[in-house]
Chains A and B, each alone.
Chain A
């Protein structure tokens, strides 16, 4: 049976090793470890003592499972029942890792989720028989869908990575904004300081009306500061507008697929122009063409023999395999168009 969840209340037993009975009071640095084989808790000293010499059986009475030192780890949860469940989830999650996008409808996805959950439940709480069945199912599923599991795993990793990168980028941007703000504030202070000094100097060195000078200086300072404020407000607005929108963004909306890189424009709408009924060779034996290959007079004008081959072959085969009766409709049309284009080419030539 699974270890029942006992840690309902904080009891002092939590701080005592059930094997050697030492407590945190006696040993301040006591650390508890568990082995995912049987989830029995013991302190690190006990683990060292019992398992350093090699695999041994679990010291807890009536357990008797053979454990290795390598398998011990500190528990993440205080409740070992949950710890065990999470370990099982991890195992199952590596296999049953389909994503919502793979399902036709939400209902299907939910049914799938529930099935998975049932399986996990059998593994966690089920009787020996149910457990066995679930294990079998897991194994079978893994064998059947190896490729897809791999794909989904990769996709999941990529997604997590993307999220992480996005967050760091955002943090960095926030930091930059903050720095900028501080810089601006400092500049503003310096500016005010400078204007004040100027004013004092003017007061000291000229004999204009002092009140006029002070008033003017005050005005300058005010104008500058307000201008700066406006500037910062407007300059930071595009930045500011963005978080305002996304502050209310609700998570869990359908994830946006990165747009597929746009391909070059294809005027033929994706029609395959490579010949299907013949193979174009680089060379054809033909005595009346042999001379041309070497004749500079002809080649200098840009005449290319392969082009000639291609055109001739195309003309020879064009129309073959076109059955008007079968191909009424769109498919027949491109065929015609291509021909026409070739013809036009011909005229030019």
Chain B
């Protein structure tokens, strides 16, 4: 509740904030309700862009929004003019009878485009017989700003509406984005420059942006600007260039005017976007800096055939580079120097590469875009490498691993600076809220993402009872320290102690139990050792054992079995990886997870060259020490794993951190977890841990009535009013004190007291609404 004041500050003053709120305690709904109240209270109705990570989270947020709007309607007694929409990929929203049956998202995208592109419609109007999508074309018959009635539309809901009215849900959402109050979508739509350019550029400046589940946002930013180029993709790129060449010569024979038109446009300057950008209508794109738009395309890639030759040369150059059999890491300037030496490709045309390709593809009216995907990737790579001197690194790895014999070269073009991708968002929108259940330490994020915050706050949890038990186990029952450090991780004593821990907890935990390992590799080795020691047989007596694998389908099958076993009383243990799919976004509420066991500190694989480069960059640029970053990253993943079991106030669970290194890293856990760790429970051996866990479970088994929670963790209106009163009193007291002090010290200070008055009044007003 008290976050309201903080947040209104953010919204009013126009600033960015980082909030940490315990997971599963209604973070989404409290944020939504507050922002919507704010939005509806002020006449300008600032739009809310709510970004989440996965499809299921988007769906959840939409459902919450829907419930919230119903509640508001009940309370206010009128229906507000309000529209909330979610957006996801075409694959999830397609209604076209044949297209929707495609499995791969890329294919759906491509097929949809071939049915809905602008030139297809033109052809149709000219009377040619081309296949079109009836769902899409029906949209043109409707009023462009009123494609769908007011209300909150969940993804399912919009699909149903689309089916009834024969209109495309995907395009309905996309076109209505400028006309609705709330948009909920994945943060790729805002961060990935390739998508953001198309989807999000029309959002107005005063939007309120919320990044939910944003503890990984820096990695998302980095991934969105990084590319990996393989020999295979280069081969495909060459083929794409060849196709382009053929198409150009075809077009020259049939429709030379179009090429000429394009040429004329390029002589003028890059697209008409220049003016629009000046008027600040579009969000800037990190892959297409502003000054680029103001310039005309360089003369040597203006003509289509010149450009294709240019691309071919670049691709050939990359192919030659890939033949090298040693690891190379170089900065963009040195890459460019080498490129220029061997191919006479200058930096400037390279910067225009991506835009030029897009324009060419548009002119040629290509429908099978997916064939040109690799070429597009290469072009984006070219643009980025020529645009940024700092913050990027090229790493060529000829072999997959150190032991590999057969070369499989990959050219990683890695972004090292998370701030580049998110910068346009911070520049454009005045209020950006970054929030997650586990986003500690808070000051790390502004540092890494390059912004300043108005509010940084970590909220703790108010609970009716102690409903989760975080403990740190540092030793086995035989007092041998346990750790997943490289030196000791495969020692039989450590492995046995971990095994014992698992057996003990599988004995005492009711229903489901989740175990997290630092990596797949370690999980495999430890499981095989456990098998040899007979530990798995022991666990088997009490619970089913299920394992997460890198394969998504296998994992989802395992999850399904796990849930069944948890529901029917057999109980199960799910062994998974701290950076895998399970650790992010899959909830183990209630019986699905009563214990989470975190075996070892989930550090990243530190031998990775990309990680090394990034650490170096962070140290050089942002003064973040290597160890600080590694430990921060490990702890946020650990916290994320722990947060999986507690998904609400009536939920309970045990959180076991099993590594001696957790002792020192305890402070890096989120505030709400760290506060709940008792000093007597931080340096336990297995038997002690079992003891306190048993006691905890016995407590939890006591009947827990709704009324016990009231006034503590759930507040009625009366409690709220009481709280407000006490807050007001507090304010008044503070005010009086300030005044007393003011009059004591000097008369001149009295003015300061007045200022306080104004502020306090404003605060109270904010509390009121």
Contacts and interface: CB of A to CB of B under 8 A. Distances in A.
Interface string A154-184: 0000001001100100000010011001000
Given A82-B312, A167-B334, A249-B390, A112 B343 contact: no
Interface stretch (A55-63, A250-258, A268-276, A299-307): A250-258
A93 B351 contact: no
- Could you say which interface size class chain B belongs to? 35 or more
Contact of B298 (A110, A160, A167): A110
Given A248-B390, A250-B388, A251-B388, A243 B300 contact: no
B145 interface: no
A205 interface: no
A8 B319 CA distance: 11
B316 A247 contact: no
A76 interface: yes
A341 interface: no
Nearest to A83: B316
B298 A113 contact: yes
Given A163-B337, A250-B289, A78 B386 contact: no
A248 B300 CA distance: 27
Interface string A210-247: 00000000000000000000000100100010011011
Contacts of A208: none
Given A82-B316, A117-B306, A160-B337, A76 B300 contact: no
B746 interface: no
Interface of B: 235, 238-239, 242, 267, 289, 291, 295-300, 302-303, 305-306, 309, 312-313, 316-317, 319-320, 323, 331, 333-334, 337, 342-344, 347-348, 351, 386-391, 417, 419-420, 423, 619-623
B299 A113 contact: yes
B579 to A, nearest CB: 27
B303 A114 contact: yes
B242 A79 contact: no
A76 B337 contact: no
Nearest to A185: B625
26 contacts: A5-B312, A77-B316, A78-B316, A78-B319, A82-B312, A82-B316, A93-B344, A107-B296, A110-B296, A110-B297, A111-B299, A112-B299, A114-B299, A114-B303, A116-B300, A121-B309, A163-B333, A178-B619, A236-B623, A240-B622, A246-B389, A248-B419, A251-B347, A252-B348, A252-B351, A253-B291
B242 A252 contact: no
A39 interface: no
Contacts of B387: 250-252
A76 B344 CA distance: 13
Contacts of A253: 291
Given A86-B342, A86-B344, A110-B267, A252 B623 contact: no
A240 B623 contact: yes
A8 B333 contact: no
B416 to A, nearest CB: 9
B389 A251 contact: yes
B560 to A, nearest CB: 43
A121 B312 CA distance: 14
A35 B342 CA distance: 17
A106 B302 CA distance: 14
Contacts of A233: 623
B238 A8 contact: yes
A41 interface: no
Contacts of B619: 178, 181
A89 B389 CA distance: 26
Interface in A182-213: none
A250 B337 contact: no
A15 interface: no
A8 B320 contact: no
A51 interface: no
A249 B297 CA distance: 21
A89 B621 contact: no
A272 B670 CA distance: 77
A93 B622 CA distance: 41
Interface string A69-98: 000000011110010011001100100000
A109 interface: yes
Given A107-B296, A113-B300, A247-B391, 15 more contacts: A8-B238, A8-B239, A8-B242, A86-B313, A86-B342, A86-B343, A89-B343, A90-B344, A106-B295, A110-B298, A114-B300, A114-B302, A114-B306, A250-B388, A252-B387
Interface in A114-133: 114-118, 121, 124
B246 to A, nearest CB: 12
Interface residues of A, number: 49
A77 B320 contact: yes
Nearest to A242: B621
Residue of B302, B316, B347, B391 most packed against chain A (CB within 10 A): B316
Contacts of A1: none
A104 interface: no
Among A9, A236, A243, A250, find the residue whose CB has the most chain B CB atoms closer than 10 A.
Answer: A250
Contacts of A106: 295-296
A14 to B, nearest CB: 12
Contact of B267 (A90, A107, A112): A107
Interface in A1-44: 5, 8-10
Contact of B333 (A79, A110, A116, A167): A167
B296 A251 contact: no
A106 B619 CA distance: 40
A93 B344 CA distance: 8
A39 to B, nearest CB: 14
Contact of A240 (B267, B306, B344, B621): B621
Contacts of A85: 309, 313
B337 A246 contact: no
A117 B289 contact: no
B333 A250 contact: no
B623 A117 contact: no
Contacts of B342: 76, 86
A170 to B, nearest CB: 9
A79 to B, nearest CB: 5
Contacts of B297: 110
B28 to A, nearest CB: 33
The 5 A-B residue pairs with the shortest CB-CB distance in the complex, in nearest-first order: A113-B299, A110-B299, A114-B299, A247-B390, A117-B300
A26 B315 CA distance: 30
B269 to A, nearest CB: 10
Nearest to B286: A248
Contacts of A76: 320, 342
Q: Which of A113, A117, A178, A244 has the most CB of B within 10 A?
A: A117
Nearest to A79: B316
A239 to B, nearest CB: 9
B291 A243 contact: no
A89 B344 CA distance: 7
A117 B304 CA distance: 12
A311 B391 CA distance: 68
Nearest to A243: B621
Contacts of A9: 235
A349 B344 CA distance: 69
Nearest to B385: A251
A178 B616 CA distance: 9
Nearest to B268: A107
A251 B303 CA distance: 24
A124 B391 CA distance: 38
B334 A110 contact: no
